[in-house]
Amino acid sequence: MAINLYLRKNMRYLYIILLVLFCSIFCVSKHPKKIYLDRYMKKDTVLYSFGITNTRMNEKKNIKFNTYARCEFESNSKFENNDSCFYSVLKIIKDEKCIFQLDSVLSLGNAKYNQATQCAVIPIIFYQNMDDFSTDGKLLCVNFQTEHSFYVSEELRNSTAANITAEGNEIFYISADTLYSFSFNSHKNIPLATFELPLMYSVELDLSKKGISLTYYTDYVDDFINSNRAKNVRFR
């Protein structure tokens, strides 16, 4: 009888210890890790500017995804004679039919397309502050199979960096100084890492087996004023 009581008491302590360990591991894993880009090898790129380029857009820009799907970006004629002439219209076309349209778009980042799932992700800039050059936008996802579109993120801050994995089941993007993942299965945005660079501006995000390649500006205020080149860095 005494032995049974002793075993029960010790098993209770063991369960408590295991529960504490599990909670500790789970809680830690929910916090994004910190990535210090200064510790990685960087190289200059040819990019000197981002966001609005202060030039009128006089012709249509076409982004072809495949033979039947494309993205059209053209100047908004109703704004031609005032300061809002920098704003344009975004149209998503499938089989010569417009399946999505958006007015008052300032500029676009590089759109990424996944052939297997026929999904495209398009970073959109709606506003740029001309005092500190910061930008605000959204990340649009378009499924050309279902003709369904939705915003992966409605807060794309100082970034046009986004990409879709080769498998087509996940999207990676950067907003402010944080790297996020979006799962098509759960439709949840999860912060993966912070870069500890509050004034960084992310331009391009490429995914490969070697890791993530990021094109970015370290300090967008100084870089924009002095026309500094963007940097490129690869990390895991």
pTM: 0.81
Alpha-carbon Rg for the chain in angstroms: 23
Which token pair is 182?
């979006």
Q: Tell me, what's the pLDDT at 10?
A: 55
60-67 contacts, C-beta under 8 A, 24 or more apart: 63/111, 65/111, 65/113, 65/120, 65/144, 66/113, 66/115, 66/118, 66/144
Tell me, what's the pLDDT at 55?
A: 44
Domain map of the chain by residue range? 1-27, 32-55+107-235
Q: Kindly tell me if the per-residue pLDDT of 82 is higher than 80.
A: no
Matching CATH number, 32-55+107-235, of 3.40.710.10, 3.90.45.10, 2.120.10.30, 3.20.20.80: 2.120.10.30
**pLDDT of 229:** 87
In tens, the pLDDT along 145-186 reads 999 999 999 999 999 999 999 999 999 999 999 999 999 999
- Largest Cα span, the chain: 93
Report the pLDDT value the prediction gives residue 87, as an integer from 0 to 100. 81
pLDDT at 37 over 90: no
Q: Are 215 and 204 in contact (CB under 8 A)?
A: yes
Amino acid of residue 22: F
* Residues 191-209: tens digit of each pLDDT: 999 998 999 999 999 999 8
Number of CB atoms found within 10 A of residue 99's CB: 17
Q: How far is CA 189 from CA 152, 165, 175, 184, 195, in A?
A: 8, 15, 11, 10, 17
Average model confidence (pLDDT) for the chain? 83
Give me the sign of the Cα torsion angle 18, 20, 26, 28: negative
